[in-house]
Amino acid sequence: MAFSPSLAIFVATVLLVKWLYKRTRSSSISGLPIPPGPPRLPVLGNYFDVPRDRPAQTYLQMGQRLGNSQCRPTFWHVDCRAGSDVICLKTMGTHIVVLNSLAAIDELLEKRSSIYSDRPYSLMLCDLVGLGWSTPMLPYGDEWKLSRKMYQHALGFDKQCQMIEQREARALLSRLLDSPDGFIGHVRLMTGAVMLGIAYGIDVQPKDDPLKHIAEEANRVAAVAANAGVYLVDVLPILKYVPSWMPGAKFKREAEYFRKWADALLRAPYEVVRKRMLEGGLSDCAASWLMDAFLVDGKDKPFTEHVIKGTVATMYMAGSDTTVSTLTTFFLAMVLHPEIQAFAQNELDQVLAGSRLPELHDQPLLPFITAIVKECLRWKPVLPLDFAHRLTEDDMYRGYYLPEGSICLANIWAVLHNEDVYPNPSIFNPQRFMRNGKLDPDVLDPAEAAFGFGRRICPGKFLAQDELWITVASILATLNITKAIDANGVEITPMTDDLPGLLSYPKPFRCTIRPRSETHASLVRETV
C-alpha cells in the first residue's frame, strides 16, 4: 500500500483533537472540588481515617456527618444536600471514593461502567499470594472478558447445577438430623460439595476430603489477605524485595504460606478432571464444559487453559463461603423469630402437605420462602462493601471531581439499610417484601445490590439464589430451629453481632435443631 501524506495528516489531526479534548476536559474537571472527606494530614492524608472495623457502617456515618458541611454550591450542583452520599478519602496519594447511595452507585458503576470496571492492583494478592488468576482480581481486559464469557457458558447448564444443589440440600437435612450441634460445619460441607460438584464434578468425601480441605484453606487465606489496609507492601511496593527472614517481613512469610494453597486450588481439582477426561471418563461439570467449548479448537491453548483453570477455581471460591454466610444468618434469624418460622412452615404445609420435600419449581407457590431469602441477603449482606472498582479516567459527578485511578467502593450495607427503602432496617422482617400474600414488586430486591454492580456483577447471582432458596425451603419444611438451653434450663438468646473481616459472618452461636415430627424425619431419611 502506497504512503498517503493526506491520510497521515488526517490521522495526526484526529489524534491531536482527541489529545486536546482530553486535556481540556481533564483541566476543566480538575478545577472542581473532590467529594467531601475528613481533614487530611500532610503526606499520610486520611491514612488513619480508613476504618478497619465495620468499614461500611463507618463510611455511612462519615458521610452523614460531613454532608452539607463541605458541600459548596457551584454552577454544577443541582442539590447541595446530595453531597453526603459520596465521600472521598485520600491516603498515600490514592483517592478512595465511597458511594453510600444506590443513586450514586447506579449512575457511576452502572451507567458509566466503561470507565468504572477496572480493579485496583494488589501486589500482595496478585504477586505474592498468587491470586492474580482469580476473576474478581483480573484487570478489565481480554483475560477478564474471556473468563466472564466462560462463566456465562458454564452457567447455561442450569439444570445440571440445580440438580446438584437440590441433592446436596437434602444431604444436609440428613446430617442435621444425625448431629444438629454441628450445623455450621454441615452447611459448610454442603456449600463446598455444591461448588466442587458444579465446578469439577467431584463428589466430596464426608470426612477428611483432601480437595475440600485445599479449597477451604485457599478461601480462608484469600479472605485474610484481601482485608484492605492490612499489608503495607500494597502501599510501598518496594517492600516485596525484602527477604522473608528479616524482622518486620512477616507478610512475606504469610504470602509464602498463602501461595501454597492458592496454587493447589488452581491445579489440584482441575488435574482430577483433566486426567479423568484423558482416560475416557465422563465428567459433567464446568471444567469439562469449558474444555469442550473453548480448548478443543482454541488458538492459544496454554492461555485458554490458564483462564479455564482460573475461572472454575474462582467459581468454587465465590460460591462457597458467601453461601455459608447467608445460611448462617438464616439460622440466626429463625432462632430469634419463631413466629416467622411458623408462618413459613404453614405456607410450606399448604403446598407440600407433608408428603414430599420442596423442589426448585415450587418457588412461585412459596413466595414467603423467597421473602425470607431476600431478607437474609438484606439484613446481613455477605459483602458489606463491594469489591473495589478502579476509575480509568477523570470523571465528574454532581459537581465533584473524581480523579483517574480513584478506588471506588460501593457501600452495599448502606443501600440495604436505607430507612427510606426498608423501614426499621435493623429488624429482620420478610413481610416487608410481601403484599396481599404475594411478593411486592415495588420493594427493591436486595439481590440488586448484594451481588455487586455494573460489569463486575457476580455472574453466579441466580445460581446462588437457587441454592439459598432450596436449602431454606428444605430446612423449614422438615426441621424446627429454636434457642439452645443452658445447664440451668434457661434459653440462650444469641447476639446479632458479626465477626470482623472482608466477608460478614454472624458470631458463633448455639441453637437446637429437631425434626418437626417423626413423619418429617422419615421423609428426610427416605428421600436422601
Within-domain flag for 172: yes
Structure confidence at residue 319 (pLDDT): 75
387/93: higher pLDDT: 387
State the pLDDT at residue 75.
33
Domain co-membership, 503 together with 434: yes
Higher-confidence position of 47 and 395? 395
**Same structural domain, 315 and 412:** no
CA-to-CA distance for 167 and 194, rounded, in angstroms?
Answer: 9
pTM, to two decimals: 0.89
CA–CA gap between residue 404 and residue 176 (Å, rounded): 51
322 and 403 fall within a common domain: no
Question: Would you state the pLDDT for residue 10?
Answer: 46
Indicate whether 440 and 312 sit together in one domain: yes
pLDDT band at 104 (very low <50, low <70, confident <90, very high): very high
Instruction: Pick the last residue of a domain from 416, 438, 469.
Output: 416
Cell numbers 448455639 correspond to: 510
Pick the closest to residue 228 from 432, 364, 91 (CA basis). 91
Choice between 188 and 29, residue whose per-residue pLDDT is larger: 188
The region that residue 353 occupies, defined by phi over 0 for left and psi between -120 and 50 for alpha, beta otherwise, is left
Q: Is residue 201 part of a domain?
A: yes
If you average pLDDT over residues 318-335, what whole number do you get?
92
pLDDT > 70 in the chain, percent:
89
Q: Are 317 and 309 contacting, i.e. CB atoms less than 8 angstroms apart?
A: no
Domain CATH for 270: 1.10.630.10
User: Which residues contact residue 370 at a Cβ distance below 8 angstroms, ignoring those fewer than 6 apart?
Assistant: 363, 433, 439, 469
User: For residue 68, is pLDDT > 90?
Assistant: no
For residue 457, the tally of other CB atoms under 10 A from its CB is: 16
* Residue-number span of the structural domain to which 349 is assigned: 135-383+417-527
Residue 79 clears pLDDT 90, i.e. is over it? no
Burial class of residue 456 (count of CB atoms within 10 Å of its CB; 0-12, 13-18, 19+): buried
Dist CA 428 CA 376 (whole Å): 8
Set of cell numbers at residue 340: 416467622
Q: Kindly state whether residues 315 and 171 are assigned to the same domain.
A: yes
Nearby residues of 292 by Cβ (< 8 Å), 6 or more positions away: none
Asked if 295 and 351 sit in the same domain, the reply is yes
Task: Please check whether residue 91 lies inside any domain of the structure.
Answer: yes
What pLDDT, on a 0 to 100 scale, did the predictor assign at position 494? 95
Min mean pLDDT across 138-152, 354-368, 440-454, 496-510 is at 496-510
Cα(283)–Cα(276) distance, integer angstroms: 7
**DSSP secondary structure code for residue 501 in this structure:** S
Work out the number of other CB atoms within 10 angstroms of the CB of residue 484: 16
Sole residue written with cell 435443631: 513
Tell whether 472 and 342 lie within a shared domain.
Answer: yes
* Binding region for heme: 458
Residue 20 has pLDDT above 70, yes or no: no
3-state SS string for 288-334: HHHHHHHHCCCCCHHHHHHHHHHHHHHHHHHHHHHHHHHHHHHHHHH
pLDDT at position 31 is 83
- What are the beta bridge partners of residue 94? 91
How big is the CA angle at 377 (ends 371 and 379), to the nearest 5 degrees?
95
Q: Which of 394, 416, 438 is the last residue of a domain?
A: 416
Residues 412 and 518 in one domain: no
C-alpha distances in Å from residue 175, one per residue of 188, 207, 333, 354, 484: 12, 12, 21, 20, 18
Structural domain includes residue 300 = yes
Whichever domain contains 110, its CATH number is: 3.30.43.20
Report pLDDT for 226.
66
Q: Is residue 512 part of a domain?
A: yes
Check whether residue 211 and residue 119 sit in a common domain: no
Examine the domain organization and report whether 379 and 390 are in the same domain. no
- Residue 22 falls inside a structural domain: no
Final residue before a domain boundary, out of 367, 400, 416: 416
Q: Is the pLDDT of residue 19 over 80?
A: no
Identify the pLDDT of residue 29: 67
Q: Are the C-beta atoms of 383 and 498 separated by less than 8 Å?
A: no
Binding residues, as ranges, are 458
Q: Where are the beta strands (DSSP E) in 71-119?
A: 86-91, 94-99
- 116 and 139 in a single domain? The answer is no
Residues 399 and 319 in one domain: no
CA distances to 228, 364, 365 from 500, rounded to whole Å, are: 12, 36, 38
Torsion of CA 240, 258, 316, 234, to 10 degrees: -30
pLDDT in tens, 213-271: 887 788 777 777 665 455 778 878 888 888 888 887 888 888 898 899 999 999 999 99
- 11 occurs within a structural domain: no
Q: Look at the chain and report how many structural domains it folds into.
A: 2
What is the C-alpha separation between 477 and 217, in angstroms, rounded?
33
Instruction: With respect to residue 6, please indicate whether it lies within any of the assigned structural domains.
Output: no
Provide φ and ψ at 451, rounded to 5°. Answer: -105, 20
The pLDDT value recorded for residue 251 is 85
- Higher-pLDDT residue of 54 and 179 is 179
Mean pLDDT of 195-201: 92
CB 368 within 8 A of CB 344: yes
